[in-house]
Every structure is written in C-alpha cells, then in structure tokens.
Amino acid sequence: MLAAIVLAVLVALVVLRPLVESGPGREVVEDARRAELEAAKEAKYREIRDAELDRGMGKLSAEDHRTTDRELREEAIEILRELDALEGRSPGG
C-alpha cells in the first residue's frame, strides 16, 4: 500500500508541474495551419522532383512532363500563397 502511495505522489509531481508553472505558452509549438502548409509544400516539391526524374528516365514524354509540371507548380504556388497570407497576418496578431 505504501508503494502505491509513493508512486502516486511521484506521478502527481511529474504530471502536475505544468499546471502549477504559470506563464503563457512557454512551449514553442508549430502553428497547426502553418505546419500543414509546410508539409504540403514539401510534398509538392517532392512530386515536382519526381516528375523531373521520371522525365529523365523516359517514363514521361516531353509533352506529358510539361503538363504535369505545370499542374504541380500551380498547386505549389497556391500553397505558397496561403503560407504568405499566414505570415502577413501573424506579426500583428
């Protein structure tokens, strides 16, 4: 029984510390929306590189590659636009 109480106290100490320490968001956390856009951007860049590799390997004809590349870059620009909109908003709050 004593063991249970000791353990419970130890756990409580670890677990309740963040609640006791006051202060606004000391933790640095990524903004969820930005993280999503960054991830989408990286994925889109990878797709563009993949398409280039496919072109180099002869899987995509020049015309197919142009079409695909254009589509992908447009999608990437959309993402960058949204990212910039976020940046533009944040300093002022």
Partner 1 sequence: MAFAGTACLLVGIFTALYAAVSSVVGARTGRRELVVSGRRAMYCLAALLIAATAILQSAFLRSDFSFKLVADGSSTDTPTFYKVTAMWATQDGSLLLWALLLSVFSSAVLFLTRRSLRDIAPWATAVLGTVGAFFVLLMLGWENPFTTLAVAPQEGAGLNPLLRHPAMMIHPPMLYTGYVGFAIPFAFAIGALITRHTGADWIRATRRFALIAWTFLGTGILLGALWSYTELGWGGYWAWDPVENASLMPWLTGTAFLHSIMVQEKRGMLKVWNVSLIIATFVLALMGTFLVRSGILESIHAFGASTIGAQFLTFIVVVIVGSTALVISRLPYLRSESRLDSLLSREAFFLLNNLVLVLLCVFVFWGTFFPLISEAITGTEASVGPPWFNAVTTPLALVLVLLAGIGPALAWRRITPSGLRRAFRVPAAVTSLALVALVALTNAEDSVLALAMFCLTAFVLAVVGQEMVRGTAARRVITGDSWPRAAAGLLARNRRRYGGFIAHAGIAVLFLGVAGSSAFLQQRDLRLSPGDTFRAGGYELTYERATARLGGDGAGTGAPIAFGAVLTARKGSESFTLHPSRNFYPTRDASKGSIGRYFEGEATSEVDVRWGLKRDLWTAVRPDISQLEGPIQEANRKFADSSGDVQAVVIAAIAERYRTDPPPAAFRSIVSPLVSWIWIGGGIILLGALIAAWPTPEARVRRVRSLYRARVGRELSGA
CB of 66 to partner 1, least distance (A): 12
CA 7/CA 51 separation, integer angstroms: 56
**At its nearest, how many Å lie between partner 1 and the CB of residue 3?**
4
DSSP annotation of 92 reads: G
Residues lying near partner 1 in the complex (CB under 8 A): 1, 3-4, 7-8, 10-11, 14-19, 21, 24-25, 27-32, 34-40, 42-43, 47, 49-51, 53-54, 56-61, 64, 67-68, 71, 87, 90-93
Q: How far is it, in rounded angstroms, from Cα 87 to Cα 11? A: 40
Residue with tokens 């309740």: 16
